[in-house]
Structure 1
Amino acid sequence: MASDSTPRYTVPGLAVQDAASLIEMLQQRLNSLNDLHLTLKHVHWNVVGPHFIAVHEMLDPQVDRVRAMADDVAERLAALGGVAYGTPGVLVEQRSWKDYSVGRADAIAHLGALDVVYTGLIEDLRAAVRTAGETDPATEDLLIEQLRDLEQFQWFVRAHLETAGGTLSTADAPTEAAAARKAADR
């Protein structure tokens, strides 16, 4: 991978230096989305228990949309003059988070862990929206659309974890593994 992410050209009206910052940020978004896609499929394949079919079937549309999001991010990155690195090696080398650690588990445990995964992803995406908004409304718009979808997916997950009184079983869980345990124990 090239150590210099400065493009030789970019879209009209955007400085090359601004494009370089956006490219770097979008590469992290691409890594996050590729990781999420694989994590969602992992859960899809390893979920068990009485809520199996509901969770199993809920995840496939999320997987499809997340894959489309990754494609949109990679194409925007390329339009800005960058190179979209989508290999597993780059993802693992550049990510700042640990691999999803829950294996075969009850549906509610997986959903608890996914709640934490979505929270981290959404927090990072909100920061990326702010960054993009400073220089490029087209990239900002792309990210805002993805933010809406990811927040909806987290809402779907949280609906399984919420009590009638509005309390999340995963509240204050610091890690996905802790959230999985808290959700399974409720």
Structure 2
Amino acid sequence: MPCINRRDLGLLVLRVGTGAVLAAHGSQKLLGWFGGAGLEGTAKGMEHMGFRPGKQSAVAAGLGEAGGGALLALGLATPAAGAAAAGAMAGAVAVHMPAGFFAQSGGYEYPGFLGFTAAAIGITGAGRYSVDHATGHLFDRPWTVALAFTGSALAAAAVLTRRSVLQAEAEAEAEADAEAARAGA
């Protein structure tokens, strides 16, 4: 009788729990499940948060969470799954950053934790009780870890930089409008 490996069992529990939470959040964004806004509502919310175009941003965030979460739970393509989920959570952290760290004040504690957990699983690997293990790690090679996390980091940096530029432009436009209103009064 084979011995149960505690490390692999722990990775299974961590993967399934983290993946399920991420998949549920992504399903809210994409499909409106679990009380979510669905794609149209999420797109409007993304625009309001400074992510433009809103619909593409909603799809990307939803797929990063739902797809990355489902793949993490299965232990399939674990480096790409962890990187995708971590990248999506980087966007959520940026949104919540102005409110500070703790979740009770609207801070980034929760998305930060999910992002770091997804990244850690992606780097560590899915363990023995996974689809990756069953397929001989076909989609979990050392080079995929580097490629997935580099790609995710570059994509997150590009999205967040664009968001910052758009927010600065919107603030400058609002200031100019306010100045024009004051001058006309």
Q: Do both proteins adopt the same fold according to a TM-score greater than 0.5, normalized to the shorter chain? A: no
Q: Give the alignment's TM-score, normalised by structure 2.
A: 0.42
Give the structure with the higher percent helix. 2
In our comparison, the structure showing a higher alpha carbon Rg is 2
More relative contact order in 1 or in 2 (CA 8 Å, sep 6+)?
1
Q: Give the alignment's TM-score, normalised by structure 1.
A: 0.42
